[in-house]
Chain A
Amino acid sequence: MSTITRMSPLDLLDLNLTNLDPLTENYDLGFYLNYLTKWPSLFSTVKDRDAGVVGYIMGKVEEQHPSMKHSEHYTPWHGHITVLTVAPAWRRLGYASRLTEQLEQGSDINNAWFVDLYVRAGNKVAVDMYKGMGYSVFRRVVSYYSDDPSGMSETGEDAFDMRKPCSRDKKLVHVREKGEEFLVHPEDVS
């Protein structure tokens, strides 16, 4: 009883099941609309017949600003997962991987090198899930998140930059082993 379709602007009024979850951020309306107008094909949702939207993925394809081209941390043309969320009662059903596959396919069509995402280093469930889908940690961004829900540190939480190569990256240039130990600073990746 579930169907995967594109997110439409009117669905924004119907995000309660996912967005009341504490780890899902509620962005400014303009943020969603920006994605909906620029990358409409990379914003998909899972809908249940009765419950409405029970999960969605929000993504984009872009490259880092040209001014950073000479930096060793330069990020070339790639797909990026901005948000991936599934409502608590609808987890462990494989929706996340189906949504991610859609986005990977979309990035591949757009000739991206790889698909990447940022995840809290402490969110073990999510990191393991992405690893299961074929993503690997490329680098660790120190203090990327300004707050830390587990309250472990004062300075904020680290993020893992996880990547999965697309078909364009035949030589696997954009994957790195033991990326957990490769530290970078937030200003290098923004």
Chain B
Amino acid sequence: MAPISDAVFLRRNNQIQDAIDGQNLKQALQLIEKRMKKGEDTRFLKAWKAHVLWRHADEAHHKRGITETLELCNAEPPTTDIDTLDILFRTLQKLDGHEATRSNMWERAAKVKPQDLEIQGRWFTYAFESNDWKSAQKAAMSLQKNFPRDRKYYFWAIFLSHLIATDERSSEADRKLFGTLAYRMISKAAADVPQKVSRTLKPTLMAQELSPPRAIQTSEELRLLIKIYETQGRSSEVVKILDSDNLGLKSRIVQNDNAFLGFKAANLIAAQMWEEGVAFVKGLYGVSDNQERLKALREIDDWSIWNLLVTATKNAKDSGIISDSVKFAETFSRTMPKSRNAALARLDIISHGIQTGEASADSLLSASREYIDNHIHKLYAFNDIRRVIGPNKDHLSTLLDYINKHHAGVEKTNVPAINALKLEYCLNISGSDNPSSELMESFAVRCLEMYDKAFKDGQIKKDPTKEASSTIESQPIDDLCILAAMCLLQPTEERETGSKVSKTSLIRAAAILDRLCRDSPHNYEALLLLVRIYLLLGAGSLALSTFSKLSVKQIQFDSVAHILLTRLSTIHPHSAPPVEGAEYKDFDPLSAYVQGLNFFRTSEVNTMRYRTAGLDEGAYVNTEEIIELRRRLSNSFNRRLYALEVRRTQRLAGGDSMGRCDELARDDSPFVDSRKFGAFMSCEFVDKPPFEERIRLGPLPKTNWLASARITDRLFSVLKGISLQRTLTAETELPSLEMLSVSDADDDQTLAEKESCLIHTEMLKVALFMAGSKPITLHQVEGALGEAEKYLKAKKTELTADEKASSPLLSSTALYIGSETPIGPAWDYLHKSYTILETTKALWQLVTLAGKRGGKSAKLPKESLERVSALVPEIYDLVRSNARALKQRVSASGVLSSLIDLVIQGDQSAETQKSAHHILEATLDSSRIELFCGALMESWEEALDGLLLFRLRTNARAKTRSVRLPEALRVFHTSSFIPLSRQLRQSPKTPTVAMAQERTGIVVGTNKGHKTTPLNTPKNKISRTKGQSSRRTAFVREIAREVVGLAPYERRVIELLRNAQDKRARKLAKKRLGTFTRGKRKVEDMQKVIAEARRTQAH
């Protein structure tokens, strides 16, 4: 901008920018046109004008903006001014279908000004950030061509080519082309690495001095090479490179990083080079008597290498290789008995040998015995034995006998005995088809006995002077309690419920785990199990408070939180009573969902930021994975689930409308499921599903669940749209009917959900008809209303109470102990009730809307409408009366004692030994059982109260979500429920009184308490450091400066300085700041700012 000085130009621009920021587009346009009239007819202004036009809401201006922008993009000669390009890009960024123009614009600019780093740098950044790999690759190519000295651009180009080659979106031809390009370029970089270098220099210095700029210099670049080769199936070439002098395992680039040994092993497997593989392992792991060598061996003892031996042995055709490899592993593990990898490799190879007939079962057993001798005192031993011996029950029981005879009880630690019990559980209880309940009972009792004994021993042994820190760590003996609980939850022949877990044994298991949590409050395996059990029991508030002990946050919202949050909206949608000192998400499901969604949103920002940073730092392989991580997180299944559940929660319990989840809730693109359940303990038999599946709340939600939840969500949003008289635009608001069809591919919904999905689909048709959708006929609507009526009638029979005041719903879902009357809800009772309530709510809204509407759109058939509208309140009342009846049962007398009896004696129907009662009572501590049962009942009451709070009409959150005080307070756990209203909770803690009055020596009244002499503490020293800026304040100021920029007077000072009016600047600063010294200091500061700005611009 030659004619005008910089400062003036900037000031004028600021005016326009201010107008745009203030949404005053008209003024902005006028300002621009004024400048253009004055002769400042630059492309920059034209582009800006087009941008402002594009921002207009009305169609005509908007379109004109686009056309003008496109014209400017294609203008000759190409635009090269960075600001202009920026504006043009910003306009085009949000428009679909202009990707080509977008990248073309930058490309042409870069061609005209090949030495302008800024243009090309920005081109690259923009393209990379908008996932346009092709354009970014072009930018990187142009960068590496024009700035050959900067070596990172070369690798950027390679990296981007690799991205295109592996991207699913690129065409077949592109993949091939760019794959070859990446391969050629990186191979060139590898070939350029000098062969021989002296080893006297420090490696880092040497790298910079000796090799050509584009050769591979860091291990990151070598990793990129391996990655590229691997994805293209060139594993044998990787092996060759890792064997070479210049880049091989001994080269200075690898720097003795043992990870590259793993790379070599993996690629030997991929290239199917079995002979070389075996030779490699043998060369690496050959044992000798040398102590030094043994120590070095211990450091490189790694499964990735042993895996190579195992795989190679399995695939190699040579005869005798099996016995050879077994011998090799045997020698290794004899020399180093602690090496688990070697022992496992040996077992793996022997079991393969048994399959091919080259090894005998006896050799497997003897090897297993050796393994047991060396490893049974470690917790991992159980999993290893189960994996290797696997489905062979005879072998398992032989080994179990062996352990019991030689290890359990003999050694100092309890671990061998624990492993033995786990094996026994796996073999006799999980592995058996129908274990008797006596067997299970006695097993559980044995576990608890041993736990009790070990616990008491531990207490005696423990030095009282030692810290309590060991309680933070979970102990191996904790596993015993979990084992006992899992054993009780197994199916037996008597409880012929099939896959369902008996509800009474849930209570007993919970009691055992609750006891464990007293001694080991942080054992997460126990806590997770307990959360699920509480949920299954319908005790939502207990589940929430137990879950809060895990203090789940950040990425755990994707990996852990779903254990609690799946289907929570139909079990405990309302807030539990607040817990003192807890965060909202610890007792309020709604805020837990919101926090989870927030994590996903911020993770988008973070991953974007660090994938750009990763390229800058040269961490290529990690950058590629960050891109993948970003994709997985933004398409995460949990994210969709939370978005749908948060809206359901808000429908069922009231609360702020979650408008910002709209898009997420509607998204039906494929998702990524990263739910994992590895944190649950599982000791099941090999062919049985993991234990966690037994304690799920209905089948695990998947595609169908999402689809059906989307239908429900759509129904409510259409209804809302009608009530707000919003006109529905055809594309966005009318879902195609294909979307509605739910395939039966996988069974991932509960019965109640399936039912409600069907009825909601019908109702959605009606709602769309009301909204004016053409393809739906009156006939269809009639049918849909008929379906609704049928549904309601069915529900009516299900909910109506018989003479014993128990409805079919209650008797099928609620919790019974022996007697005829239910004593508590369970999760499926709550789930069904809430699902029915949601449907009635939708129907009620629909009926009211149909009643209200004037002649605007097609009328609904009157008779069926009336019938439905009569049924809806009836159902609503029935659900409530059911809940009320159940609540009465919970608070009836005798429930507490029958619960306690249940925990100690088990189900009355089953006969159990008297001795068992004794040990249960002793281990579990009867007062604790009482507290536990009390808390459970209280939680049930709270859950039912929550159900009763539901209203058909939408009402404000304040009413439904007000916190009620539980009638009786029971101290439970360390975190007792203390009823505090929210206002009280938020008020700050009582401030400590600075000057305490002298105490009176009387036990009551003001200033009560024992008389004490105040300590004669000296006054605090005067702070000498005031005014010295610490790093912290410097940092704070830096951030503030970065965010809000300069103050207006500072900008004026800068302007004056730019115009060489230093004295004036100082005068102004003095006027503003008070003294001349301060003013001078400020002027100096501003000079620094100017210098800084120059420096960054120059780059």
CB distance from B569 to the nearest CB of A (A): 23
Cβ of B833 within 8 Å of any chain A Cβ, yes or no, is no
Instruction: Select which of A12, A41, A122 is within 8 A of B257 by beta carbon.
Output: A41
CA separation between A150 and B255, bound complex, in Å?
A: 43
Say if the beta carbon of A101 comes within 8 Å of chain B: yes
B344 — nearest CB in chain A belongs to which residue?
Answer: A1
Q: Which residue of A lies closest to B626 (CB)?
A: A9
B473 within 8 A of A: yes
In the complex with contacts A5-B304, A20-B524, A122-B467 CB distance below 8 A: yes
A105 closest partner in B (C-beta):
B256
Of B476, B552, B625, which is within 8 A of A10 by CB? B625
User: 1/0 per residue B330-344: CB within 8 Å of A?
Assistant: 000000000011001
Give Cα A3–Cα B619 distance, bound, in whole angstroms: 22
Q: Which of B293-314 contact A (CB under 8 A)?
A: 299, 302-304
Stretch from B110-118, B602-610, B913-921, B923-931 forming part of the interface with A: B602-610
Does B1030 lie at the interface of the complex (its beta carbon under 8 Å from any beta carbon of A)?
A: yes
Chain A window 32-62, contacts with chain B (Cβ cutoff 8 Å), 1 for yes, 0 for no: 1110111011000000111110000000000
Beta-carbon contact of B259 and A6 below 8 Å: yes
Tell me which of B202, B219, B340, B559 contacts A2 (CB under 8 A).
Answer: B340
A40 touching B220 in the complex, CB below 8 Å, given contacts A20-B560, A33-B606: yes
A27 CA / B302 CA spacing, docked (Å): 29
- With contacts A26-B556, A33-B626 taken as known, whether A122 is within 8 angstroms of B469 at the C-beta atoms is yes
Pair A149/B559 contact, Cβ less than 8 Å: no
Residue in A1, A21, A23 whose beta carbon sits within 8 Å of that of B384 in the complex? A1
A21 and B202 alpha carbons, distance in the complex (Å)? 41
Chain B interface: which of A86-94, A129-137, A158-166, A169-177? A86-94
Q: Any chain B CB within 8 A of the CB of A81? A: no
Q: Judge whether A150 and B303 touch: CB under 8 Å.
A: no
- Given A1, A8, A32, A102, which contacts B340 in the complex, CB threshold below 8 Å? A1
Given the contacts A30-B609, A37-B622, A109 and B203 also touching, CB distance less than 8 Å: yes
List of A residues within 8 angstroms of B632 by Cβ: 10, 13
Check A51 against B678 for contact (C-beta < 8 Å). yes
Contact of B622 among A16, A22, A36, A101 (CB under 8 A): A36
Is the CB of A63 closer than 8 A to any CB of chain B? Answer: no
Residue pair B614, A37 in contact (C-beta under 8 Å): yes
- Contact call B473/A13, Cβ cutoff below 8 A: no
Binds A, one of B54-62, B375-383, B959-967, B1059-1067: B375-383
Question: What residues on A are CB-neighbors of B522 within 8 Å?
Answer: 21-22
Query: Which residues from 514 to 563 on chain B have a C-beta closer than 8 Å to any C-beta of chain A?
Result: 522-524, 528, 550-556, 558-560
Q: A10 CA to B472 CA in the complex, in Å?
A: 29
Question: Quick check: is B204 within 8 A (CB to CB) of the other chain?
Answer: yes
Please tell me if the beta carbons of B303 and A1 are within 8 angstroms of each other in the complex: yes
Distance, CA A34 to CA B614, complexed state (A): 8
Does the CB pair A111–B467 fall under 8 Å?
no
Say whether B466 faces chain A, with CB atoms less than 8 Å apart.
Answer: yes
Interface presence of A142 (CB below 8 A):
no
CB distance from B946 to the nearest CB of A (A): 28
- The chain B residue sitting closest to A30, CB to CB, is B606
What is the CB-to-nearest-CB distance from A39 to chain B, in angstroms, rounded to a whole number? 9
B1031 touches A190 (CB 8 A): yes
The one of B383, B554, B560 that contacts A27, using a Cβ cutoff of 8 Å: B554
Interface status of B90 (Cβ within 8 A of chain A):
no
Q: Are B610 and A33 in contact (CB under 8 A)?
A: yes
Contact B1031 A40 (CB under 8 A): no
Q: Considering the complex, which residues of chain B in the window 1040-1096 have a beta carbon less than 8 Å from any beta carbon of chain A? A: none
Central interface residue in A38, A123, A187, by most chain B CB within 10 Å = A38
In the assembled complex, B613 has its CB within 8 A of some CB on chain A: yes
Q: Are A4 and B629 in contact (CB under 8 A)?
A: no
Give the residue of A4, A16, A102, A187 whose beta carbon is less than 8 angstroms from that of B676.
A16
Report whether A12 and B629 are in contact in the complex, using a CB–CB cutoff of 8 Å. yes
**C-alpha gap A60/B378 in the complex (Å):** 32
A73 interface contact, C-beta 8 A: no
Inter-subunit contact A19/B556 (CB<8 Å): yes
- Contact in complex: A37, B603 (CB < 8 Å): no
Say whether B602 contacts A29, CB under 8 Å: yes
Which residues of the other chain, A, contact B341 by a CB distance below 8 angstroms?
A: 1-2
Cβ of B383: which chain A residues have Cβ within 8 Å of it? Answer: 50-51
Instruction: Tell me how far the C-beta of A66 lies from the nearest C-beta in chain B, rounded to whole angstroms.
Output: 11
Question: In the complex the two chains form, what is the Cα distance from A105 to B552 in whole Å?
Answer: 34
**Which interface residue of A8, A36, A37, A98 has the most chain B CB atoms within 10 A?**
A37
Kindly list chain A residues whose C-beta atoms are within 8 Å of the C-beta of B524: 20-21
B369-393 to A contact mask, C-beta < 8 Å, 1/0: 0000000001110011001000000
Chain B residues with CB below 8 A from A41, complex form: 219, 257
Is B167 an interface residue when CB atoms closer than 8 A count as contact? no
Kindly state whether residue A15 has any CB partner on chain B within 8 Å.
yes
CB nearest to A12 among chain B residues: B555
CB distance A125 to B473 under 8 Å? yes
Report the minimal beta-carbon distance from A108 to chain B, rounded to whole angstroms.
Answer: 10
Q: What residues on A are CB-neighbors of B613 within 8 Å?
A: 33-34, 37-38
List, in ascending order, chain B residues with CB within 8 A of A90's CB: 379-380
For window 597-651 of B, CB contacts with A under 8 Å fall at: 599, 602-603, 606-607, 609-610, 613-614, 617, 619, 621-623, 625-626, 628-629, 632
Q: Is A124 an interface residue (CB 8 A)?
A: yes
Chain A residue contacts of B378, Cβ below 8 A: 93
A14 touches B559 (CB 8 A): yes
Q: Please tell me if the beta carbons of B555 and A187 are within 8 angstroms of each other in the complex.
A: no
Task: Knowing A40-B619, A98-B299, say if A28 contacts B554 (CB, 8 Å).
Answer: yes
B629 in contact with A9 (CB, 8 Å): yes
Report the bound CA distance from A2 to B167 in whole Å.
32
| Cα distance, A140 to B202, chains bound together (Å) | 35
A15 to chain B: which residues have CB within 8 Å? 555, 559
Q: Which residue of B lies closest to A187 (CB)?
A: B1030
Shortest CB-to-CB span from B360 to chain A, Å, is 24
A146 on interface, CB distance cutoff 8 Å? no
- Distance to closest chain B CB from A13 (angstroms): 5
CB A52 to nearest CB in B, in angstroms, measures 6
Tell me, yes or no, whether B674 is within 8 Å of chain A by CB.
yes
B610 touches A111 (CB 8 A): no
A89 partner, pick from B257, B380, B384, beta carbons under 8 A: B380
B474 at interface by CB-CB < 8 Å: yes
The answer to whether A49 and B303 have CB atoms under 8 Å apart is yes
A21 to B610, CA, bound (A): 27
> Chain B 795-809, CB within 8 Å of chain A: the 1/0 string?
000000000000000
Is the C-beta of B231 less than 8 angstroms from some C-beta in chain A? no
Contacts of A153 in B (CB 8 A): none
Q: Is B1032 an interface residue (CB 8 A)?
A: yes
B contact residues around A6 at 8 Å (CB): 259
B472 touching A22 by the CB < 8 A rule? yes
Instruction: Report the separation of the CA atoms of residues A20 and B678 in the bound assembly, to the nearest whole angstrom.
Output: 12
- Min CB–CB distance A149 → chain B (angstroms): 7
Contact A26 B559 (CB under 8 A): no
Asked if B258 lies at the interface with its beta carbon under 8 angstroms from chain A, I say yes
Whether A10 contacts B619 by the Cβ 8 Å rule is no
**Is A8 within 8 A of B622, CB to CB?**
yes
B262 at the binding interface (Cβ < 8 Å): yes
Q: Can you sample 21 A-B contacts with CB below 8 Å?
A: A1-B384, A2-B340, A4-B259, A12-B555, A17-B678, A20-B560, A20-B679, A26-B552, A33-B610, A33-B613, A33-B626, A37-B617, A51-B678, A67-B1034, A88-B474, A93-B380, A111-B202, A122-B469, A124-B469, A125-B469, A150-B467
15 additional contacts, CB 8 Å, given A16-B676, A38-B617? A1-B384, A4-B259, A14-B559, A20-B550, A21-B522, A22-B472, A33-B609, A33-B626, A37-B619, A37-B626, A52-B676, A65-B1031, A67-B1031, A93-B378, A110-B204
Interface residues in chain B, defined as those with a beta carbon under 8 Å from any beta carbon in chain A: 202-204, 219-220, 255-259, 262, 299, 302-304, 340-341, 344, 378-380, 383-384, 387, 466-470, 472-474, 476, 522-524, 528, 550-556, 558-560, 599, 602-603, 606-607, 609-610, 613-614, 617, 619, 621-623, 625-626, 628-629, 632, 674, 676, 678-679, 1030-1032, 1034
5 shortest interchain CB distances as A-B pairs = A33-B610, A37-B614, A20-B524, A30-B606, A9-B625
